[in-house]
Amino acid sequence: MKTNKGDGNIEVVKRELKNFKKAPFLKLHALIYIAIVLGQFVCGYTLGIAGTAFGSAQIQLGFSNTWLGLLGAGALIGLAGSALMGKIADQFGRKQMLMANMYVFTILSILQFFFNSPVVLFGLRIGLGLMMAIDYTVGNALLIEWLPKEEGPQKQSNLLLYWSLGFALSFLIGNVNIDWHWLLASSAIGSLLTAVFRSIIKIPASPAWLASHGKPKRAQKIVQRRLGPKWGLPKKWFHVKPAQEVSIKMLFSKQYWRNTVVGSAFYATQAFAFFGVSIFLPVLLKSMGVTNAFLSGSLYNLALVGGCVIGLLVFNHVGRRPFLLVTFGISSLCLFVMALSSHLAGNLLLVIFTVFAVTLSASLLLDYTYTTELFDVKVRATGVGFVIMMSRVGAAAGTFVLPVVISVAGPAITMMLCGGVLLLGAGICFFLAPETNRQTVAVRTTN
């Protein structure tokens, strides 16, 4: 504050606060980012470890391929609860859900150690998927709502790299001679560390959510307490009408339906191919005649991480729409070539398969950034939650269907099925997908 003296009076003038969305990347931003990164790493690891663990469990317990598919898809089915979790977060806020979910995650992970029943394990995997849904929807929303406007998209797209590292680590751990009970329960280590870290830093509530629910003064206090007294809300946030209760029906209103369809289509078709191929990679490679499963699996997982790195180098410099169409197109082409060229040498097949892995993993960058850009703050968690739910339907379908298709129809038909699904997603997005990259839109409107 400052004082102006005139006519014997002292006039108190309030100092203008700076918009917290234009702040540099401060300590609080880094702590929130690390809290979300840890969750993504744990989610990637937990999903990846399922294939190896349940493959070993099937040998020991002798359950059917149908149960193998269901157990592999259990967490993905639970992730379909993202729409519900997103709706709860839009109605009641982000903070408490993110403070609690990893503690529940830890308990569910440990419980897997004590059961052999496929029915019980299936239930536990669904519960883990529900806890992941909170990180995917609520964590993503909180991150983008706290980070500076210029930092948000880049940091958000980086999340995929940490998810992929968790997924790749699960492959390495899965190839160590460890009982499958321990493999499943090992995810408790990362989830407990994440839960404790979030408790220590005390994740703050989302200022954007508070302002959109008629609580701008409370949001202002949180910003000043956590970032410093010179930072505050944008002025327009004090005049935002309180948000109405969000329903799934709103996502199919005139304002949002195209974005809802696009988000659902690209995410579900991508997840069908990615999770179906990745989780049951050893089965697929064996059916392709690739004998060194560890070497080829390591190459595949290295390609996934490499694809993330390559994608990060170009993602924020090109439009979301062309990035989506090109990556989906190349991925589906690779699958069709492998399916129709089974006579190719094993090494050449592996090269094409690696190109597929690199390209498809690069496309995963859209999962974090594009989905949040498709929806505004009023419906963001609900919208992101809904498209994640649709993606998990696709992922669960791929994880459940592919081991059955491989055993019945062989690898060629399996890869053609995945390629066809990717092509379907690309076709829908070709006609409906909007461009949301601010840089690309800005260039287009000024030329």
**Using one digit for the tens of pLDDT, what is the confidence trace for 364-414?**
888 878 888 898 877 887 888 888 888 878 877 877 777 778 778 877 888
Q: What angle do CA 99, 112, 364 make, to 5 degrees?
A: 60
CA distance 316 to 236: 28
Burial of residue 201 (number of CB atoms within 10 Å: 0-12, 13-18, 19+): middle
Residue 14 or 69, more confident: 69
- pLDDT (0 to 100) of residue 446: 32
Q: What is the CATH number of the domain that holds 102?
A: 1.20.1250.20
Side chain identity at 88, as an amino acid letter? I
363 CB-near residues (< 8 Å, 6+ apart)? 270, 311, 323, 324, 327, 328, 331
Mean per-residue pLDDT, 134-154: 84
CB 51 within 8 A of CB 174: yes
- Quote the number of domains for the chain: 1
Q: pLDDT confidence of 244, banded at 50, 70, 90? A: low
* Distance linking the first and last C-alpha atoms of the chain: 43
When mean pLDDT is compared across 146-155, 235-244, 323-332, the lowest value belongs to: 235-244
- pLDDT (0 to 100) of residue 346: 65
CA distance 178 to 192: 21
Closest C-alpha among 390, 393, 386, 436 to residue 90: 386
Query: Considering the domain boundaries, does residue 113 fall inside one?
Result: yes
Q: pLDDT confidence of 292, banded at 50, 70, 90? A: low
Q: What is the pTM of this model?
A: 0.75
Q: Which two tokens stand for residue 264?
A: 């659902």
Mean per-residue pLDDT, 132-143: 87
When mean pLDDT is compared across 309-313, 410-414, 423-427, the lowest value belongs to: 410-414
Query: Considering the domain boundaries, does residue 232 fall inside one?
Result: no
Does 78 have pLDDT greater than 80?
yes
- For residue 340, the enclosing domain spans 20-204+246-446
CA distance 46 to 43: 5
Mean per-residue pLDDT, 109-115: 94
Mean per-residue pLDDT, 292-320: 80
CA distance 14 to 178: 64
Does 192 have pLDDT greater than 70?
yes
Query: Considering the domain boundaries, does residue 136 fall inside one?
Result: yes
Q: pLDDT confidence of 93, banded at 50, 70, 90? A: confident
Query: Considering the domain boundaries, does residue 28 fall inside one?
Result: yes
Does 2 have pLDDT greater than 70?
no
* CA pseudo-torsion sign 112, 395, 259, 304: positive
Query: Considering the domain boundaries, does residue 15 fall inside one?
Result: no
Query: Considering the domain boundaries, does residue 29 fall inside one?
Result: yes
Residue 153 or 36, more confident: 36
> Which value, to the nearest 10 degrees, does the dihedral of the CA atoms of residues 316, 322, 324, 325 take?
-160
**Mean pLDDT in the chain?**
83
Query: Considering the domain boundaries, does residue 230 fall inside one?
Result: no
Query: Considering the domain boundaries, does residue 212 fall inside one?
Result: no
Does 443 have pLDDT greater than 90?
no
Summarised one tens digit per residue, pLDDT across range 195-206 is 999 999 999 988
